[in-house]
């Protein structure tokens, strides 16, 4: 799929619209930790300094909000999610990844989407550290999913055996949120989510 392509029923916007369902927290990076737990053999904790010093990728991918606006060719920078998860030893029983955030927000993502080669934990946006409004110190980003899955101010990644509602999913938003299948709300008959073994995405 061309990066210049626009998913169904989206329009290109010129700038981000900032949403904060639970308010904008201001996070001290020296106090912040990212925990990885749930169905793993070795629970992990990363500090902000550890995160930004890890090998990371710079990817140009567009951003698609479920409210139908998109921003073309955004530059995201950070480590691949699958490389952060690998040292934890993810259980073969894990099929979903729940993002937990400083403000209490949560967002579930199919593990197969989180493990893709362009799914990252971003700490920079367009070559600048994330602002507080954009999710500083870090937020996940999976290009093929609507933006509410890109949970701002993330501080925990929990591996789950099965789907569990997050914040917006309790209001009827779709479990997976694939932008090309236009999975905006629950009940949409898109491509079924398939389980995929860790490390093969």
pLDDT above 90 (res 194): no
The whole-angstrom distance between residue 127's C-alpha and the CA centroid of its chain comes to: 18
pLDDT in tens, 84-139: 999 999 999 999 999 999 999 999 999 999 999 999 999 999 999 999 999 999 99
Strand 33-38 to 154-160 pairing: parallel
* Six token digits for residue 161: 């055996």
* Six token digits for residue 25: 């927290």
pLDDT in tens, 46-56: 999 999 998 88
Give 98's DSSP letter: E
Phi, psi of 30 (to 5 degrees): -80, -15
Contact 119, 133 (CB under 8 A): no
pLDDT band at 192 (very low <50, low <70, confident <90, very high): very low
d(CA 99, CA 110): 11
Q: Indicate the range of 2-11, 54-63, 81-90 predicted with least confidence.
A: 2-11
d(CA 3, CA 64): 12
* Six token digits for residue 123: 């700490």
pLDDT above 70 (res 71): yes
CATH number of 26-165: 3.90.420.10
């Amino acid at each position: 799929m061309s990066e210049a392509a626009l998913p169904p029923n989206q329009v290109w916007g010129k700038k981000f619209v900032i949403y904060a369902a639970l308010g904008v927290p201001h996070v001290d990076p020296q106090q912040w930790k990212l925990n990885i737990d749930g169905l793993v053999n070795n629970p992990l904790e990363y500090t902000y300094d550890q995160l930004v010093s890890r090998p990371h990728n710079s990817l140009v991918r567009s951003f698609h909000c479920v409210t139908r606006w998109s921003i073309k060719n955004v530059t995201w920078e950070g480590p691949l999610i699958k490389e952060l998860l690998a040292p934890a030893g993810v259980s073969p029983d894990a099929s979903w990844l729940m993002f937990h955030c400083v403000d209490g927000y949560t967002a579930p993502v199919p593990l197969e989407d989180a493990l893709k080669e362009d799914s990252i934990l971003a700490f920079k946006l367009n070559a600048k550290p994330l602002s507080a409004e954009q999710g500083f110190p870090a937020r996940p980003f999976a290009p093929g999913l609507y933006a509410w899955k890109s949970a701002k101010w993330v501080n925990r990644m929990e591996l789950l055996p099965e789907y569990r509602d997050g914040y917006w999913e309790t209001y009827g938003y779709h479990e997976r949120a694939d932008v090309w299948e236009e999975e905006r709300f629950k009940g949409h008959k898109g491509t079924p989510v398939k389980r995929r073994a860790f490390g093969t995405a």
